[in-house]
Structure 1
Amino acid sequence: MSAAIDTSDDFTVRSMRSDEVEHAIQWAQQEGWNPGLHDAACFRAADPDGFFIGTLQDEPVGSISAVRYGEHFGFIGLYIVKPEFRGKGFGFRIWRHAMAYLAGRNIGLDGVVAQQDNYRKSGFQLAHRNVRFQGIARPRRAQSKIMAIKNLGELPFEQLMSYDRACFAAPRERFLADWTAQPDATAIAAVHDGEIRGYGVLRKCCNGHKVGPLFADDAHTAEALFDDLIARHEGATFVLDVPEPNAAAAALAQQYGMTSVFETARMYTKAAPAIPLSRVFGITTFELG
């Protein structure tokens, strides 16, 4: 069930219709976030009730996502107010609506560093920084033959779910099924002795491509996956979002000539989930965690 709708002053916060998620994706592009071409459908699959739009006299003016994962976790994203409607309190009312929807859960977000103090007022505490690296894809490097690289579609989905659950704060079956099978994307896994040792997804964005997630048992496996993904788009711009505590992930990006272009503050309302960041070489998205 959605939180109560705010209808005062001709301003309404309500659940998005399926076609309206694209509004938020377009606004994200205008903000320079460079979303994926098929993010709208994949995002909504995570929690169809968790996307909200603020309208003023029926005109869409702002958005937010508040995705529920499992029973105890949620993630805030796509928090955008159109520039001409900022400073009027609409964003805060959209924010309160989303927080009410996720009440009682541990809530995460990736916020711009300058907004940390505002998020603290809502109970969020810094867990770590995330750094966005950007570069140009280059030819494939020499690879070890220790493990096989396979398309995720060739592997049992239960194996993927099990591996992902060890690297993410909650189960996300519906989202993962759509994310790894979306158009204009490549989803691969490193397999050794019949077991997944890491996996990665590369998706086409408004500008170039993004790699995320990139989860792996170790740096060698992460490099094998990363190398395979970007070599398919030689010469294209590509992005990798790295949790700063994973020094091996930052080293991987730098090894491929990537440079830091942006950062976010990963924050939670409760204790940071017990995720082994040493296995997180690339975050899925800043919007959904």
Structure 2
Amino acid sequence: MMNSSEKKIIFINKPNDFTVKKATRQDWECVVQWGNKEGWNIGYHDADCMYSVDNDGLFIGWLGDQAVAAVSLINHSEQYAIWGNYLVNNEFRGKGYGKAVCKVAISHSGNRDIGSNAMPHMVSNYTRSGLKPIYNIVHYTGKLKKIASENIKEISIVKPHHIDNIIKYDGLFFPTLRQKFLNSWLSFSGHTSYLKTVNGDIYGYGVIRPLPDGFRIGPLVARTPADAEELFNTLTSGLLENTKISIFLPEYVHESFFSFLRKRELFEQYHVVYMHNGNFKMNIPNDMYGIANLDLG
């Protein structure tokens, strides 16, 4: 019996040697390289985490033995999946290979609601696929300006016994519970995770991870802007002045947190549009200060 990475679908409307396969983690490394050439600055373990959440959710289109296009469609739960990593190798763009890979991948999500983060110029294309724009996600980046901050007693390193409670807390703001993702993301080598609790109640949590160029914070979830600032300060406390930092944050975040980031020398670089297909519940406004990853939510 074939395993998932060996299953092939041949497109009769494409060259005879064009196939789409579910990718192995090793296969996917070329997609990471494509993304970094586009300036995506992908975290060292982002692909490992995607694969651990849903190892059937990575798709590559091959022309003979050459990878030409890719997309991910990661099932977080029985209710929700998210598109990501929509990429076509430069020399093969405009030939329909990207759409062909998506046509195969879509069946993987079944009847789940689907989310996606689209570049603004792609919104109209994604709308034709049934996705609706919900809100913008802004990318802030810069060289960190260190500031003096107090030692926050309520903030501590995440331990294994915290994770179940973090999963429940996170599920208040994300479209679904994401057990596999958080069990993986919070503990990957190089990822540093902090939790704020007050009298045993969670007031926020955050993760920082290394990238080829600097570090990225996400998720960053907190009850108030002040809680988010305290977590940000703790997450960056071990970094040197002028270390490059980035964060993707929803546009509806309180203006005081944007001001805080600018004081730390982080500024808007670009934005993407979160889109959704299904019964979207806007239940995340004031607590989600930074998403984990554009391809995982």
- Fold similarity call, TM over 0.5: yes
**d(CA) in 1 for partners of 2:100, 2:142:** 38
Q: Deviations over 1:203-246 (max 9, x none)?
A: 00011000000001111111000011122112210001110012
Identity of aligned residues (%): 28
Q: Deviations over 1:166-188 (max 9, x none)?
A: 12111221121111111222111
**Per the alignment, in what secondary structure is the counterpart of residue 239 of structure 1?**
strand
**Among 106, 119, 126, the residue aligned to 1:112:** 119
- The aligned counterpart of 2:150 is 143
1:63 aligns with 2:70: yes
Aligned equivalent of 1:276, options 277, 284, 292: 284
CA offset at residue 4 of structure 1? 7.5
**Residue-by-residue CA offset, 1:41-82 (whole Å, 9 max, x unaligned):** 111111111111110112111111101121121100011000
CA distance in 2, matches of 1:6, 1:216: 47
Structure 1 gap ranges (5+): none
Rate the CA distance shift 1:114–1:83 in 2: closer, same or farther, 3 A: same
* Counterpart position of 2:184: 178
Query: Partners of 1:103 and 1:253 in 2: how far apart?
Result: 39
Distance 1:286 1:250 in 2: 19
Q: Does 1:228 align with 2:234?
A: yes
Q: CA–CA distance in 2 between the matches of 1:136 and 1:69? A: 33
TM-score, normalised via structure 2 length:
0.91
Does the Cα contact within 8 Å between 1:138 and 1:231 map onto a contact in 2?
Answer: no
Q: 1:257 corresponds to which residue?
A: 265
Instruction: Please state how far the C-alpha of 1:270 moved relative to its aligned partner.
Output: 2.1
- Count, aligned residues: 288
* 2:188 aligned with 1:188: no
Q: 1:131 aligns with which of 138, 146, 149?
A: 138
Report if the CA contact (8 A) 2:144-2:266 is conserved: no
Instruction: Assess if the C-alpha contact under 8 Å between 2:169 and 2:202 holds in 1.
Output: yes
TM-score (norm 1): 0.94
SS at match of 2:159: helix
Once the two structures are TM-superposed, the CA of residue 144 in structure 1 deviates from its matched residue by 7.1
Corresponding residue number in structure 1 for 2:249: 242
* SS of the residue 1:108 aligns to: strand
Q: How many angstroms apart in 1 are the aligned matches of 2:89 and 2:195? A: 39
- The whole-number CA distance in structure 2 between the counterparts of 1:180 and 1:140 is 26
CA distance in 1, matches of 2:44, 2:238: 18
Match of residue 6 from structure 1 = 10
Distance 1:247 1:192 in 2: 22
Residues 36-75 of structure 1: matches in 2 within 5 Å? 36-75=43-82
Q: Distance in 1 between matches of 2:109 and 2:259?
A: 36
Provide the residue aligned with 1:81 in structure 2.
88
CA RMSD of the aligned region, Å? 1.9
Please tell me whether the aligned partners of residues 8 and 19 of structure 2 are also in contact (alpha carbons under 8 angstroms).
no
Q: In the alignment, what sits opposite 1:286? A: 294
Q: Hey, what does 2:210 align to over in structure 1?
A: 204
User: 1: distance between equivalents of 2:10 and 2:261?
Assistant: 44
Say if 1:240 and 1:50 are closer, same or farther in 2 by CA, change over 3 A: same
